[in-house]
Amino acid sequence: MPHRPTPHRVRLRTVLALATAGVIGAGAAVFFNGSASAGTTLGASAAEKGRYFGAAVAAGKLSNSTYTGILDREFNMITPENEMKWDATEPSQGQFRYTSADQIVAHAQAHGQRMRGHALTWHQQQPGWAQSMSGTALRNAMINHITNVAGHYKGKIYAWDVVNEAFADGGSGGRRDSNLQRTGNDWIEVAFRTARAADPGAKLCYNDYNTDGINAKSTGIYNMVRDFKSRGVPIDCVGFQSHLGGLPPSDYQANLQRFADLGVDVQITELDISGSNQANAYAAVVKACLAVSRCTGITVWGIRDSDSWRTGENPLLFDGNGNKKAAYTSTLNALNGPGSTVSTPPVSSPPVSSSPSNPGGSGCTAVVTLNQWDGGFVANIRVTAGSAALNGWTVTVTLASGATITNAWSADRSGGSGTVRFTNVAYNGQVGAGQSTEFGFQATGSGAGLSPTCAGR
């Protein structure tokens, strides 16, 4: 169980926002926008910075309308709190059970939310049959498990926690003892290679706790990631759980940055914060993530205090009745503050045209927010109806040469490179006058200069 570190004071460093926003609408105006507007929900505000804001969700609570009301209003990424773990998905060897996890994925798809998968391998929450296995039999069972579960969700997961909590606490900086570790030190890279083969479009993360500052444990993980990158072991991201007891450590941002500098994304994966300085501490975490261009999003580990695994500590953003807490407001304000949106310099905007892009059709605008890293990017596109409601929309994007889409969400698409057309899916085609909906995609290559055009029906 994660240890809760002593609160530290954090030095905040803010970085000027570099928001690349291409807008084209009924008037077909295209412009470069240097600052994002202030969103009114966690998800929308994070999206304006090219990031997501997620929550851990329990399938058993999806019938609670207070719970889903908050979930669908505020969050655009979902991590199943327990439903994708080994004991839940493979209760008997070779017999896979996806009912609860599928329910969560269906909910996410119906509400335009993306999924983080958690967790393909972990020393905890193994089914009894795996707990009593060892050696080659366990190694093969692990490979079979990853192949099946990541295969079942292929194309539906933004990022997988492939390996969870494999490093030891304390000063050793080494691996934690476990039945998986005893199958051989290469078990982690085997897990990552197996996951890549099963779902090549998912980002593959290593996830752990007590790694929030620069310490022996986080340095052990840092050395592993550096080794993986140098040997071509497929790893795309590192998750920092951030179960905190106050302000994050003063070197929190520097720690995220040193991992990002290795060429991986970083994500805050299980955030919850106890203590009287909660509101400031949440803001400090958000600001640190916004200051690191490869910090792609933040997930809180539950919605209401009553949903938290930390019983009695009230570490979340909503109280037991679903009311917003002070920590919610400080989080939202921090998301609306300065932060990096792209890690590459903005490109010059295309010329402004005065002719309507869709004469005779309903007007709409499409604004793109980019999160670019070396070799790939995520584009979030916000479709906003003009003065008339839309009964459907098509957004056309021309990708730079060499850019190829690997994954898209909340829209149907034709093609994966060159000129690509995205059309609404069933649930997001009807957009009220002045209202918005979002979709997005992930691609290899460069997203520089993307300027989507929108046509409404």
| Site for ligand G2I, rule CB under 6 A | 1-2, 81-82, 124-125, 164, 209, 241, 270, 309
Distance of CA 192 to the CA centre of its chain: 18
Selected catalytic residue, list 90, 165, 189, 438: 165
Whether the Cβ atoms of residue 158 and residue 115 lie closer than 8 Å to each other: yes
Nearer of residues 1 and 426 to ligand G2I, judged by Cβ? 1
C-beta of 102: minimal distance to ligand G2I in Å? 17
Selected catalytic residue, list 81, 189, 270, 438: 270
C-beta of 138: minimal distance to ligand G2I in Å? 20
Nearer of residues 311 and 321 to ligand G2I, judged by Cβ? 311
Residues 6+ apart with CB under 8 A from 447: 368, 370, 372, 377, 379, 399, 400, 403
Can you tell me the distance from the alpha carbon of 256 to that of 275, in angstroms, rounded to the nearest whole number? 23
C-beta of 257: minimal distance to ligand G2I in Å? 23
Whether the Cβ atoms of residue 382 and residue 369 lie closer than 8 Å to each other: yes
Q: Which two tokens stand for residue 291?
A: 């200051």
Nearer of residues 35 and 124 to ligand G2I, judged by Cβ? 124
Nearer of residues 2 and 363 to ligand G2I, judged by Cβ? 2
Nearer of residues 241 and 280 to ligand G2I, judged by Cβ? 241
Can you tell me the distance from the alpha carbon of 95 to that of 148, in angstroms, rounded to the nearest whole number? 10
C-beta of 85: minimal distance to ligand G2I in Å? 7
CA nearest 131: which of 161, 160, 93, 89?
A: 93
Nearer of residues 115 and 335 to ligand G2I, judged by Cβ? 115
270 is catalytic: yes
C-beta of 208: minimal distance to ligand G2I in Å? 8
C-beta of 337: minimal distance to ligand G2I in Å? 28
C-beta of 81: minimal distance to ligand G2I in Å? 5
Q: Is 107 left (phi over 0), alpha (psi -120 to 50) or beta?
A: alpha
CA distances from 244 to 5, 217, 293, 312, 423 (A): 6, 16, 22, 15, 42
Nearer of residues 123 and 226 to ligand G2I, judged by Cβ? 123
C-beta of 440: minimal distance to ligand G2I in Å? 26
Judge if the upstream peptide bond of residue 119 is cis by omega within 30 degrees of 0.
Answer: yes
Order of strands across the sheet that contains 23-24: 23-24, 364-373, 376-385, 436-444, 404-409
Nearer of residues 125 and 219 to ligand G2I, judged by Cβ? 125
Residues labelled as active-site residues: 165, 270
